[in-house]
Amino acid sequence: MSQAAKRICSELLSKAGVPIDSPAAHSLRVKDQRMWDRVVAQRQLGLVEAYIDGWFECDALDEMLTRLISVDAAKAIPLRPKIAMHAIRSTLVNNQTRKRAIQNARHHYNIGNDLYEKMLDKRMIYSCGYWQEANDLDSAQEAKLDLVCQKLKLEPGMKILDIGCGWGGFLEFAATRYGVTGLGVSPAEEQVAIASKRCRDLPIEIKQLDYRDLLGKFDRIVSIGMMEHVGPKNLQQFFAKCDELLNENGMMLHHTIGSLISKHHTDPFFDRYIFPGGVLPSLSQISKSIEPNWVIEDVHNFGPDYDRTLMSWSSNLNRYWSELKNYDERFRRMWHFYLMGSAAGFRSRSLQLWQIVFRRKGVAERYFPIR
């Protein structure tokens, strides 16, 4: 163990108010002193992999990570060449081509439907709930789905396109409550299988398809938790495709996690273990990509609601983990870090959650935002 590495990490932990080997719930309890060198060499990735390997424990990992994010602890550690190369490579290479998009989606969404069935709400909505008047995960997700429908001003008979439809929860809700028809697409076959079954008695079609291969015309377009997978190099193409698919007086809503800064790469941990190729867009990246054809009618940020959503998912997994037989202890620790790290990002306001409503320029009727 390098004493210099331990000193760097100890100073950062102290600045963040994170004790070492104390009884506090958010204390970092060291099991293997090699972790200090690992963290200094690999920043966030080193911290995550040290946790996955059991080199440290923390009872309130979400709170510890919130404190570290709040003081930008990772940026205080000198950037090593290996980590720098990750950012450079992501800037130069398109990590969201058709082929890579399929591989990326399968990496995350084909892990196993049993995991998501235990973790998520009854509709399997894998995105931020709306907790304004909700007291549990099911009602928070239903409130979010209804919020989307109201913002899109859905009416019976409208034809809806859901890009990245997940397990079909939104289209099932919209068809049942608002009388719409629609198409949902996802590149992940495990999602398509459940979505098709969920919507089989409704006027909803589900296809395993990349959004770039879509054809047809729709009255409304929606994506919920999908834009994060588009990638900054493809945003302009994505919105051009939406323009091609949307009817003349149509409207679209994109629900996405957002970044405070414009970038072309993601955290190395998320890229390696969670969402390969995923990049959180900034508002400036989105607005630049829609020029000059689209009007942003509404931007609604309810990022703090994602903190509560993620903690609910974690609570569900803790409750049902003994029933999940296909995942080992390393996976459990990796997935726990993913949920707690994400919750910390929203709690510290480093991450945002936006619902953005778009219409084409020239639409005369005024849009009144819904909350």
pLDDT tens profile 153-165: 999 999 999 999 9
Of 3-7, 235-239, 262-266, 361-365, least confident by mean pLDDT is 361-365
Q: What's the confidence (pLDDT) of residue 295?
A: 95
Q: What's the confidence (pLDDT) of residue 97?
A: 63
Helices (H), the chain: 3-16, 35-52, 61-70, 81-92, 98-109, 113-119, 137-151, 169-178, 189-198, 235-245, 268-269, 283-290, 304-320, 329-347
State the CB neighbour count (10 A cutoff) for residue 329: 9
The answer to whether the beta carbons of residues 354 and 283 sit under 8 Å apart is: yes
Distance CA 297, CA 269 (A): 35
Residue 362 confidence class, pLDDT cut points 50, 70, 90: confident
- Reduce the DSSP state of residue 56 to 3 states and report it: strand
Distance set, CA 270 to CA 72, 107, 277, 338 (Å) = 17, 12, 9, 8
Single pTM value for the model: 0.91
Domain boundaries, the chain: 3-78, 98-360
Q: What's the confidence (pLDDT) of residue 277?
A: 81
Average pLDDT over the chain, rounded to an integer: 91
Q: What is the mean pLDDT of residues 129-133?
A: 97
Residue 104 confidence class, pLDDT cut points 50, 70, 90: low
| pLDDT higher than threshold 60 for residue 89 | no
Q: What's the confidence (pLDDT) of residue 364?
A: 72
Phi, psi dihedral angles at 244 (to 5 degrees): -65, -35
Q: What's the confidence (pLDDT) of residue 146?
A: 98
Q: What's the confidence (pLDDT) of residue 65?
A: 97
Bridge partners, 354 (sequence order): 256, 301
Q: Looking at domain 98-360, does it have CATH number 1.10.1760.20?
A: no
| pLDDT higher than threshold 60 for residue 1 | no
Distance CA 370, CA 347 (A): 24
- Reduce the DSSP state of residue 335 to 3 states and report it: helix
Distance CA 24, CA 160 (A): 50
The answer to whether the beta carbons of residues 353 and 258 sit under 8 Å apart is: yes
| pLDDT higher than threshold 90 for residue 171 | yes
| pLDDT higher than threshold 90 for residue 13 | yes
Of 2-11, 70-79, 329-338, least confident by mean pLDDT is 70-79
Q: What is the mean pLDDT of residues 143-151?
A: 98
